Amino acid sequence: MLLSAWVRPGGIEAVSNSRVLSFTKAASDRFFGLAAVDLDRPVQAARAIEKAVKEDGFVGVRIMPWLWDRPPTHETYYPIYLKCVELGVPLCTQVGHTGPARPSDTGRPIPYIDRVALHFPELRIVCGHIGHPWLNEMMSVMWKHDNIYLDTSAYLPKMYGKDLLAYMCSKSGSKKVMFGTNFPQLDLKKCMQQVHELGLPSEIKDRFLTTNAQRVFNLPQRRLAEDRGQSKL
């Protein structure tokens, strides 16, 4: 299970890296951390990422573009992307419209995710929140780039829609999509129940809940109990 820190503009730590670390230390076989950094201080952010990964065992970095009103192609992201490539950890971002009353255009897969993937082909990018209303763009970007992935956080499984489910069951799409909740927005138990009700083939469901996240985030390669699927909270 992935637990994410959350930093707002001004360096405000809504959920600090140290808070996440307290959980990952307490249950290192179950919880894995995603670091958050101050986008206004990209050099310091790169140093913070190195500490989080090398010293504290974090497995990725998460930045929400809409918080900063900056698309993923803005130059302040680039030291962070380079550090993620250097350390071999994924960068998690958000695509699609925003829940809060903030501009949504920073969440367009095309041109933003597409351009970053072209500039950083070694950077694994995990796009959260499905990408609605630009899901078709999101799926085409995943088809185009080997290093682009999607998580379903903030959407109940019954709301995934037939197009995403068909993509998840395709040869390439089955390796691209990961389960997420955005807890506490969504309840993990309720989401898991709805996943079972989707009627996915067992191999597809296993990839969606577990093995895709294990591969993308370099998590321990062991079979997890189904009710502990790798959900990004």
Q: What is the pLDDT of residues 51-91, one digit of tens each?
A: 999 999 999 999 999 999 999 999 999 999 999 999 999 99
List the structure tokens of 47.
């140093």
pLDDT tier at 100, thresholds 50, 70, 90: confident
What pLDDT does 223 receive?
47
pLDDT in tens, 126-170: 999 999 999 999 999 999 999 999 999 999 999 999 999 999 999
Closest CA to 128 of 156, 93, 100, 99: 93
Contacts of 212 (CB under 8 A, 6+ apart): 149, 175, 176, 177, 178, 230
- pLDDT (0 to 100) of residue 222: 60
Per-residue model confidence (pLDDT) at position 42: 98
Say which residues have a Cβ less than 8 Å from residue 202's Cβ, sequence separation at least 6.
none
| Average confidence (pLDDT) over 214-218 | 98
Question: Which pLDDT score, from 0 to 100, does residue 210 have?
Answer: 97
CA-atom Rg of the chain in angstroms: 16
| Contact between residue 183 and residue 153 where contact means Cβ atoms under 8 Å apart | no
Boundaries of every domain in the chain: 61-228
Query: Is the pLDDT assigned to residue 231 strictly greater than 50?
Result: no
**The pLDDT value given to residue 87:** 99
Report d(CA 50, CA 43) in Å as an integer.
11
Average pLDDT in the 106-118 region? 98
- 11 φ, ψ (degrees, to nearest 5): 75, 20
What superfamily would CATH give domain 61-228?
Metal-dependent hydrolases (3.20.20.140)
Position 224 pLDDT exceeds 90: no
> What is residue 106's predicted lDDT score, i.e. its pLDDT?
97
Per-residue pLDDT at 225 exceeds 70: no
Q: Decide if pLDDT at 227 tops 60.
A: no
Please state the pTM of the whole predicted model: 0.93
Q: What is the mean pLDDT of residues 175-196?
A: 96
Name the band, by pLDDT with cuts 50, 70 and 90, for residue 221: confident
User: In this predicted model, what pLDDT tens digit does every residue of 11-52 receive, in sequence order?
Assistant: 999 999 999 999 999 999 999 999 999 999 999 999 999 999
Q: How far apart are CA 120 and CA 123, in angstroms?
A: 5
Q: How many CA atoms within 13 Å lie on the side-chain side of 192?
A: 15
Counting every residue written for the chain, the total comes to 233
Taking CA atoms, 111 is separated from 82, 106, 140, 183, in Å, by: 20, 10, 12, 29
Is the Cβ–Cβ distance between 107 and 143 less than 8 Å? no
CA distances from 83 to 89, 127, 144, 191 (A): 9, 18, 24, 33
